[in-house]
């Protein structure tokens, strides 16, 4: 796949020194951000073939996720099968993309399900991502967090979704946040690290922007909005602030950090809004799984229904699409 080639030519984001002056200079005007976020999906839209192609792209950028207390190898295996074949082959063929090898960006599970997922995904290009560091609240000792990362990497997870200590942000302890995330990154080793800010618990957009920058300096491969467990998860204004931070970081350092909105993205229309956001604010580089992931569980079903509608011209039903 082209994405793989690209990955080779792009150096991994390094850990850079913490620049507190930079953090101090960050300004975010909430009303203006909300106004832009509100018009993004009104200034752009995609229809017909373009929409179908964009929805397929959304699937390629999806971390198909299950993060529940009652997860067992049984439902995780089912999910992995869906990740390998996210859309019915007949529909793909009618769209002329039967040979695209379409699959989701990753499968995202708790540590205990890594092995089951790896088994089920064997032979595919699909990485397993594990949430870590006391997900979702992160209220456990630091040593245990580092151990958890190490265990997951050892178990074969190629991507680790860590949660930051919200307290560091709320108390303005940027050095502490930086050190925490640097430790996580070091513990991740070769595995790519997605840093979950839990923006719904950070109180202000300015905090979101500052935390984004600190995490990027600390070597986050991705910054991610939410665990999906906060009362407010991925929103467009929050995402706009984070992707602008990524842009600023890229302009200043030349390093491309990825973005992962997670939680609450359930419809194909929402997925398109986020793709538009990425294309407008960051450009096409950020429309690939290398730099963009949706954290989602139910989104795929809606996209499948929309794709069937595109192919057949009639509205679809969810039971017509194999469940994950």
Q: Which of 8, 284, 313, 319 binds another protein (CB under 8 A)?
A: 284
Q: Which of 1, 68, 100, 140 binds another protein (CB under 8 A)?
A: 100
DSSP letter at 113 equals G
By the rule CB under 8 A, 24 interacts with another protein: no
| Catalytic residue (choose from 82, 145, 210, 260) | 260
Closest CA to 262 of 274, 254, 252: 274
Annotation says 224 is catalytic: yes
Q: Which residues share a beta bridge with 108?
A: 65, 129
**96 class by beta-carbon count within 10 Å (0-12 exposed, 13-18 middle, 19+ buried):** exposed
Tell me which residues in 57-96 interact with another protein (CB under 8 A): 57, 95-96
From CA 187, how far away is CA 52, in angstroms rounded?
40
From CA 287, how far away is CA 279, in angstroms rounded?
7
Pick between residue 2 and residue 123 the one whose CB is nearest to another protein. 2
Provide the minimum distance between the beta carbon of 234 and another protein in the complex, in angstroms, as a whole number.
19
Give the H or E element holding residue 194: strand 192-196
Which tokens is 226 given?
């939410």
Instruction: Give the chain's end-to-end CA distance (angstroms, integer).
Output: 24
Which residue stretch of 27-35, 167-175, 228-236, 260-268 sits at the interface with another protein (rule: CB under 8 A)? Answer: 27-35
Q: Which of 43, 74, 141, 190 binds another protein (CB under 8 A)?
A: 43
Annotation says 47 is catalytic: no
Annotation says 260 is catalytic: yes
Pick between residue 151 and residue 232 the one whose CB is nearest to another protein. 232
Under the rule (CB under 8 A), what is the footprint of another protein?
2, 27-36, 39, 42-50, 52-54, 56-57, 95-97, 100, 204-206, 244, 248, 275, 279-280, 284, 287
């Amino acid at each position: 796949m082209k994405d793989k080639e690209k990955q080779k030519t792009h150096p991994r984001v390094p850990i850079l020194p913490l620049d507190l002056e930079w953090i101090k200079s960050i300004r975010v005007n909430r009303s203006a951000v909300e106004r832009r976020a509100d018009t993004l999906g009104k200034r752009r839209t995609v229809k017909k073939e373009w929409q179908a192609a964009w929805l397929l792209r959304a699937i390629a950028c999806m971390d198909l996720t299950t993060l529940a207390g009652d997860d067992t190898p049984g439902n995780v295996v089912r999910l992995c099968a869906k990740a390998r074949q996210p859309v019915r082959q007949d529909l793909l063929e009618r769209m002329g993309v039967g040979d695209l090898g379409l699959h989701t960006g990753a499968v995202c599970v708790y540590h205990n399900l890594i092995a089951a997922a790896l088994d089920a995904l064997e032979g595919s290009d699909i990485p397993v991502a594990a949430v870590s560091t006391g997900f979702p609240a992160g209220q456990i000792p630091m040593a245990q967090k580092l151990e958890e990362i190490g265990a997951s990497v050892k178990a074969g997870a190629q991507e680790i979704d860590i949660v930051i200590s919200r307290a560091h942000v709320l108390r303005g302890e940027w050095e502490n946040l930086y050190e925490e995330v640097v430790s996580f990154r070091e513990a991740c080793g070769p595995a790519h690290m997605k840093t979950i800010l839990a923006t719904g618990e950070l109180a202000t957009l300015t905090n979101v922007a500052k935390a984004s920058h600190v995490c990027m300096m600390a070597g986050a491969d991705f910054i991610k909005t939410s665990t999906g467990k906060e009362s407010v998860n991925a929103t467009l204004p929050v995402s706009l602030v984070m992707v602008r931070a990524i842009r600023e970081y890229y302009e200043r350092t030349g390093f491309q950090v990825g973005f992962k909105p997670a939680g609450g993205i359930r419809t194909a229309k929402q997925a398109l809004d986020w793709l538009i956001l990425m294309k407008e604010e960051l450009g096409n580089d950020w429309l690939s799984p290398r730099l963009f992931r949706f954290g989602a569980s139910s989104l795929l079903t809606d996209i499948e229904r929309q794709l069937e509608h595109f192919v057949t011209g009639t509205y679809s039903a969810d039971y017509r699409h194999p469940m994950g």
